[in-house]
Chain A
Amino acid sequence: SQKIEQNSEALNIQEGKTATLTCNYTNYSPAYLQWYRQDPGRGPVFLLLIRENEKEKRKERLKVTFDTTLKQSLFHITASQPADSATYLCALPNSNSGYALNFGKGTSLLVTP
């Protein structure tokens, strides 16, 4: 079965450092992969989309890599700030339901001053 795995342990880092989150998937050949941010009690908010033919994508302090051989995506937040504290979700297209998404459980990031 298709699986999306994210580190379930919370990631605690100091302000100003780079946070790196991992998303591994199995039994998928996704055409693209997305990252979302979710705050407690809120719906996810889109951050970045990377296509299978792209190795890296950047947006301001965010960077995503996509290795289809390793079946892995890395999500980086540079110069992290306390406001970056949230849960970050990796999402892949649902192969059975149009353009719906399958999500990982997310990784909780806590940035301390």
Chain B
Amino acid sequence: GAVVSQHPSRVICKSGTSVKIECRSLDFQATTMFWYRQFPKQSLMLMATSNEGSKATYEQGVEKDKFLINHASLTLSTLTVTSAHPEDSSFYICSVGEGAYTEAFFGQGTRLTVV
């Protein structure tokens, strides 16, 4: 199966600053990657679909100007949380897959804490 690496695994930033999270597909060329967010005791919620070479597609209620996604290559997608606020503190996870009816491969997640 695909190996997905996220970096950093943990980050603490000050309110108002921006944070970039990287998601790398180490052995799988991913034209599509998904970004999820998980608050404590809550389910993973899809934030956006990252498309290689084109604009990301955001879920309803997710601000595209706040959560910038760049998918410049088949192995790397980045999520930048701009002007972070404490309410953005969450667990961010990316995933790749080969399509419907197949398993999804997830990164190890990034724990973002905004202080």
The residues of A that contact B41 with a CB separation of less than 8 Å are: 105
Number of interchain pairs (Cβ within 8 Å):
70
Q: In the complex, A108 Cα to B109 Cα: how many Å?
A: 19
Interface residues of B in 94-108 (CB under 8 A from A): 95, 97, 99-108
The answer to whether A43 and B109 touch across the interface, beta carbons within 8 angstroms, is yes
B107 touches A43 (CB 8 A): yes
Q: Which of B77-115 contact A (CB under 8 A)?
A: 91, 93, 95, 97, 99-109, 111
Q: Which residues of B contact A106 (CB under 8 A)?
A: 43
Q: What is the minimal beta-carbon distance from B13 to any residue of chain A, in angstroms?
A: 18
Q: A31-B100, A93-B100 are in contact. Are A100 and B108 (CB under 8 A)?
A: no
Q: A4-B43, A89-B44, A105-B43 are in contact. Are A99 and B106 (CB under 8 A)?
A: no
Number of residues from A at the complex interface, CB < 8 A? 26
What are the residues of chain B within 8 A of A46 when measuring CB–CB?
1, 103-105
**Are A94 and B46 CB-contacts (below 8 A) given A46-B103, A99-B100, A101-B104?**
yes
Q: How many residues of chain B get a CB closer than 8 Å to chain A's CBs?
A: 30
> Of B34, B43, B103, B111, which one neighbours A100 at CB under 8 angstroms?
B34
Docked CA distance A104–B41 (Å): 11
Q: Which residues of B contact A41 (CB under 8 A)?
A: 91, 109, 111
**Which residues of B are in contact with A by a Cβ distance under 8 Å?**
1, 4, 6, 32, 34, 41-46, 49, 57, 59, 91, 93, 95, 97, 99-109, 111
Q: Which 5 A-B pairs have the closest CB atoms?
A: A43-B106, A46-B103, A103-B43, A99-B100, A103-B44
